[in-house]
Structure 1
Amino acid sequence: MTEDNPVVLGAIVAPDSSQADELLAWAAEQCGTHGKQVRGVLMEMPPHTPDQPRPKAVLRDLHTGERYSILQDRGPLSRGCCLDTDVLSRASVVLRRALAEKPDLVIVNRFGSSEAEGDGFTEELLALIEAGIPLLLIVNTRYLEAWRHFNGGMGDEIACEQAAVAEWLGSRLSVDAC
């Protein structure tokens, strides 16, 4: 925490999540290399096979390595959101454990449509912020206004660039990332 912003809350803002996912993973690695305890979940996209109607999306627990497949396979003709909210709810245990452990940083795959609507990881994010646990996540530009409303102007918006993430890590967590 710093004097000018007691809440350490960073959002990598990106129109496309794939590069941001890589930056979030890089940030977790940098923090770990510098002796910081990091908890949370990262989004991973396992290789897509031709027999799958949609790519699979998996949340990986940074501490245990457990994986949560968060997209439902609703068939090749399905349209719209296929987020498996039951699996997402089960994955929320990772963030609740992080709240109890009070690590140096919690990484969350994203503040997305579910969170913008008050669902998803909303309760866990609020609890982490209230507890003063540093938090880093991704926000797609589509949800930026909802994110700003959610955090009440307390969060740092970080460009989707390695140098910007490195600067944030250095200024907010004293991690000298290269």
Structure 2
Amino acid sequence: MFPVATVSCPGRGDADLLLGRFAQRAIAAGLRVCGTVQVNTERAKSHACDMDIQVLPDGPVLRISQALGAGSRGCRLDPAALETAVHAVADGLEGADLLIINKFGKMEAEGRGFRTVMAEAVALGIPVLTGLNGLNEAAFARFAEGYAQALPPTIDALCDWLDSFQKKTAPSAPRMTLSV
């Protein structure tokens, strides 16, 4: 069982919804979940949405997108807001049972964003789950160096991965099971 897992979904925002539901389920099961989940808010008369992330388990919701104006084509990510989230997650990492990062995105592909927090979690023995899209697959593969696996986009698959990781790393320790 690999310490890092990714999930990809075909529909826009589907991975965000899946990771959010999984985070809620893990928290309800008593696990200490750290990280972020993304919440998109559709905007009227626009193809773009507002991107917000919630710092888990009960932290603030931060707007990570910038309103660049109609017709703009640049990256809408607000790097300062993302770094605020990174620091909040890093501060809560110690003692976590699971790290969820909404997406291994452009910032992580470039060596910034949550990349260091993800590496630290693995070093601490904390499993890491992240969303991944095709644009960043190659960068993620270089980052993970064979220590990650892609999971089917279902709650059951995510639960099975985490349950298997918990059994492997602490087979005799009491644990919360997430499987149905």
TM-score interval, normalised by the smaller of the two chains? 0.7 to 0.9
Partner of 1:60, secondary structure, is strand
When the two chains are superposed, the root-mean-square deviation of aligned CA atoms in Å is 2.0
TM-score normalised to structure 1 length: 0.85
Please give the secondary structure, in 1, of the residue aligned with 2:81: helix
What is the CA–CA distance in structure 1 between the aligned matches of 2:3 and 2:91, rounded to whole Å?
Answer: 19
Structure 2: unaligned runs, 5 residues or longer: 167-175
TM-score by length of 2: 0.84
Instruction: Look up the equivalent residue of 1:137 and give its one-letter code.
Output: T
1:94 aligned to 80, 88, 93, which one?
Answer: 88
Change (3 A) 1:131 1:143: same
1:109 equivalenced with 2:111 (yes/no): no
Q: Secondary structure at the match of 1:111?
A: coil
May I ask how many residue pairs the two structures share in their alignment? 171
Instruction: Among all aligned residue pairs of Structure 1 and Structure 2, give the percentage whose two residues are the same amino acid.
Output: 28
Q: Distance in 2 between matches of 1:89 and 1:65?
A: 15
Q: Structure 1, residues 88-116: CA drift from partner, whole Å, max 9, x if none?
A: 111112221132x3211111111011111
Q: Which amino acid aligns with 1:132?
A: G
C-alpha separation between the residues in 2 aligned to 1:16 and 1:120? 24
Of 143, 148, 160, the residue aligned with 2:141 is 148
| Matched AA of 1:63 | P
Q: 53-62 or 149-158: which moved more?
A: 53-62
Residues 169 and 126 of structure 1, relative CA distance in 2, 3 Å threshold: closer
Partner of 2:178: 176
- Give the gaps of 5 or more residues in structure 1: none
| Counterpart AA for 1:19 | D
